[in-house]
Structure 1
């Protein structure tokens, strides 16, 4: 049995979030941050390998409110510093600008950590180089949020490009996460179920696609969906990270429908409060009983 359920690899971001009404919040963010809290606070033994300029960000302190997380901090001479401006109340449309990015992860700087899943959770192309995927696959089941391959920082902004090496590297991937827009970029298909089938044909074993109405999973045999039932969207940031971390960790012991229902209830509850998920497994179970 592994020491940890999952090891999450990705940089902590220094975020400025400006809501559609002008409300501005400065916060720590990043996929590793939201994923780490979601996994740990639902009872999973979680390790994180966050990277930032440690003179600017106290990485251990960032995860201190999630007591089930073990932090292995990595120093970078630069941090990922970004600003998100949301244009609509549902927070589906945003403009992101990036002031700086981290020095890329290197395989030789990853500690020898025994985890059932290595969850690659970068924020932009280059953060987690392609060679990290087969390297991770030699150690654990690989889970990857494909944003780290599609989002490119260009002229201070964030733009999306297809992942040139997808057909070569997707066969290493046990769990693949995209959102609806990213799935279309990868496959050219607007139908989420068809996109999931295409990604499976290219080699990913289990595909999770998030949308503002539901979460979809495909395992090569059946399409599963579960509706999002958040009562408000004040905690929209970190939606996909929370869903994916909740799902893959639950999959270690649960079947797909059970893990999907739990992860969708988890993210629905999380979206009702800004910041990462700081509740408990009992809170998610209560939400499941009430809304699912």
Structure 2
């Protein structure tokens, strides 16, 4: 039985930052950042990645496999291609989608067995509702909501309502949203009130990340506030939320409390912010942040 099965596309990314001005082309995607974060942590939590990629992105799968990550890769004719453009405030970005990939199917996932299925959604049609409901019969479903709130018209990305939210959140054990996603999902500006609303819709553990304001976790009727540890240099926020998810899921799988898991995840985010690309530090580096 796998501890954590992360399902999501590997993307081709174009990342544009302003301070300093820079453009980077690299692989990306929620599942990609999560997989590399788990590779960097002690391999005492059994992790499996399921992805769907085009032929040109298969070398990224091979890199993960050579690094010791178990990856199941299905073939897709096309591959997701994101352009992420950040303002001087790294909490603000605009996106374009230059290509899409095939959605995941129940047939692809029928053999998977895991305690937690984390869905690294990038676009609203990555997972049909029936697929989410099916996975919920096999283990806990963890969702990063970002993809469900993205509407693509041509190449432009805009926000949209998650039409199936009430149907699917009752099958969701863990939900992570950022501050903007939280307000879009609930129409509530207060994160504590919003967390209670999401919990009432059926989610067991609600995580709201607040950028430089840390994060709020709501579980078992209690709130847990975690800080944001300031990075030495703010370089690139791409994949930061995914790194948080990896840290949180790892810590929970290791038996840490909600607060400990939030702190651990926040410390990983701080280290990730200091460079472009996926998390590449060690658990000792995480512990150094936590000890300050």
TM-score band by shorter chain is over 0.9
For residues 206-285 of structure 1, what are the structure 2 equivalents within 5 Å? Answer: 206-213=205-212, 214-229=214-229, 230-252=231-253, 253-285=255-287
1:139 alignment partner, SS class: coil
The 1-side partners of 2:67 and 2:193 are apart by: 37
Residue of structure 1 in register with 2:36 after alignment: 37
Residue of structure 2 in register with 1:158 after alignment: 157
The 2-side partners of 1:41 and 1:179 are apart by: 24
Higher helix share: 2
Kept in 2: contact 1:124–1:148 (CA 8 A): yes
1:159–1:238 CA distance, 2 compared to 1 (3 A): same
The 2-side partners of 1:128 and 1:50 are apart by: 12
Residue of structure 2 in register with 1:5 after alignment: 3
Residue of structure 1 in register with 2:83 after alignment: 83
Kept in 1: contact 2:236–2:273 (CA 8 A): yes
TM-score (norm 1): 0.93
Q: CA deviation at 1:40?
A: 3.1
Deviations 1:70-98 (A, max 9, x none): 0111111110012111122x312222111
Q: CA deviation at 1:56?
A: 4.2
Deviations 1:37-94 (A, max 9, x none): 2233222321111211124442423425743x20111111110012111122x31222
1:164 alignment partner, SS class: coil
1:186 alignment partner, SS class: helix
Aligned residues: 286
Deviates more, 1:119-128 or 1:46-55: 46-55
The 1-side partners of 2:110 and 2:120 are apart by: 16
RMSD (Å), alpha carbons: 1.6
The 2-side partners of 1:24 and 1:14 are apart by: 13
1:210–1:267 CA distance, 2 compared to 1 (3 A): same
Q: CA deviation at 1:220?
A: 4.2
TM-score (norm 2): 0.93
The 2-side partners of 1:24 and 1:239 are apart by: 18
Deviates more, 1:47-56 or 1:205-214: 47-56
Residue of structure 1 in register with 2:95 after alignment: 96
Kept in 1: contact 2:5–2:47 (CA 8 A): yes
Kept in 1: contact 2:27–2:60 (CA 8 A): no
The 1-side partners of 2:38 and 2:151 are apart by: 27
The 1-side partners of 2:64 and 2:198 are apart by: 33
In the alignment, structure 1 segments of 5+ residues that lack a partner are none
Q: Are 1:134 and 2:108 an aligned pair?
A: no
The 1-side partners of 2:76 and 2:47 are apart by: 22
